[in-house]
Amino acid sequence: MATTSGEIIGRAQKAAALFKKIDQAKTDRIVRAIYLSMMDNRVRLAKMAVEESGLGVWQHKVIKNVIASQLVYEDIKNRKTAGIISENQFSGIIELAQPIGPILALIPVISPTATTIFKILISMKTRNPVIISSSAMVKNCVAETARACYEAALKIGAPEHCIQWLTKPNPLKTKELMSHHGLSLILATGTGELVKASYSSGTPTIGVGSGNVPAYIGSSADIPFAVQSILMSKTFDNGSICASEQAVVVKKETAPPVIAEFKRQKAHFLSAEEIEKVSSIAYDKEQGTMKTGVVGQSVQRIAELAGIKVAADTSVLIARLDQVSREQPLSSEILAPILAFYVEDTFESAIERCAEIARFGGVGHTAVIYSNSPERIEYFSEAIDVARLLVNTPSTHGALGGMFNTLTPSFTLSCGSGGKNGTTDNISTSHLLNIHRICRRRVNERWKSVSDSKYLDDSLTGEEMEREFNKNT
């Protein structure tokens, strides 16, 4: 592939000019070919990702690849993204979809192949050339994913260089691309530092926020179901998805059966001494961030690093805490099979604790409630500033969408103003289009009924003008 930023952008711009000439039918054939190729390669690419990064579980990465290909394809395949996409007979407005131009797609270490598949599919569906940039830690599996997508697209007649990738990615090259005047958009998924650099580049950016996801188990909940759901989510790919639960909150009277159920399902509750040991290897107090050494690691590996002993079949590590702060590091986002656990006196104090957890590094992201009380669910939804409020749903799978609800399947979860993002959406094709509107001259009859001269009469009050405007309707 090209080696200089100018070369890469130049090739993408040429591809963009050719892409604009491709109609909806051919666009859809290109997208389908990529989807089928990724389904063919779902296992191979998942194994490559784990072997190269040392993070996660390859079987779970297969599932992520399927979500990113099949579920995303099924969601976008019938969308209109080229030419006329709507005609409003009442307003007379016709909407045209136009591509936005070259996109830089930043790929995180935790979901390298799935995120690459996802961003390529939505970029191709909207006829936007895409440039893939990842961490050097996953460069080979990302490059192989992009290459397979590109070859599938070329066979259907996609423009040359519609998909490019950095074979030797590095932060300097990525920053050069970010600020290049020929780039139209950055799709930023990754560390907070990387997302912040994207927003500071001068190029329009769609970013994500961090997730510190609280899960409240209420007194009306089915406790075995709630615990099973949380464990399914938190152990998925070793807890490496930012939408995974970070803390469980219960009321005092609900705590004993919840704790007993977690233990029955093989959770290990850490002692005070063990909490200190796990905290020291999981969180950097000076930086205020999780340590990368535990991200996506198994319980057994984390226990080994921390110097503690757990049963071989332990599902997660749970730390009972009473504060949300840097002084209790496991109250923060840790992308590993580690959960904080809080016991509160009342429902109101429990929900305030959930809100506090979300504020501590997860504003705008996701929160979960296990309850069968509509009133409690409504209270929860109004109290917590998150974009995704999941009810009786595993957080990882629920936030990604398409499996346990009808949220848009996505591997870019924006968090709104609280997370310093421009939207609260699960990002998809609608965010990668310029919509042009054809508006024919149609004079509003109510406007015609009012003489312009009346507006020049400063003796008429606002209410008098309103009556004058409305009387001829």
Confirm if 129 and 19 have CB atoms less than 8 A apart: yes
* Cα within 13 Å of Cα(101), Cβ side: 12
Confirm if 394 and 408 have CB atoms less than 8 A apart: no
Strand partners, 93: 439
DSSP tag of 320: E
CA distance 118 to 72: 7
149, 242, 354, 415: the active-site residue: 242
**Structure-token pair, residue 70:** 């099949």
CA nearest neighbour of 269 among 283, 290, 248, 284: 248
Give the 3-state secondary structure of residue 156.
coil
CA nearest neighbour of 82 among 93, 71, 96: 96
CA distance 251 to 164: 52
CA distance 456 to 303: 79
In whole angstroms, how far apart are CA 33 and each of 19, 237, 276? 16, 27, 51
- Backbone angles phi and psi of 169, in degrees to 5: -65, 145
CA distance 193 to 210: 11
Neighbours of 328 (CB within 10 A): 16
Could you tell me which residues come within 8 angstroms of residue 227 by beta carbon, excluding any fewer than 6 positions away?
217, 258, 261, 262, 265
Residue 439 appears among annotated catalytic residues: no
Residues designated as active site: 242
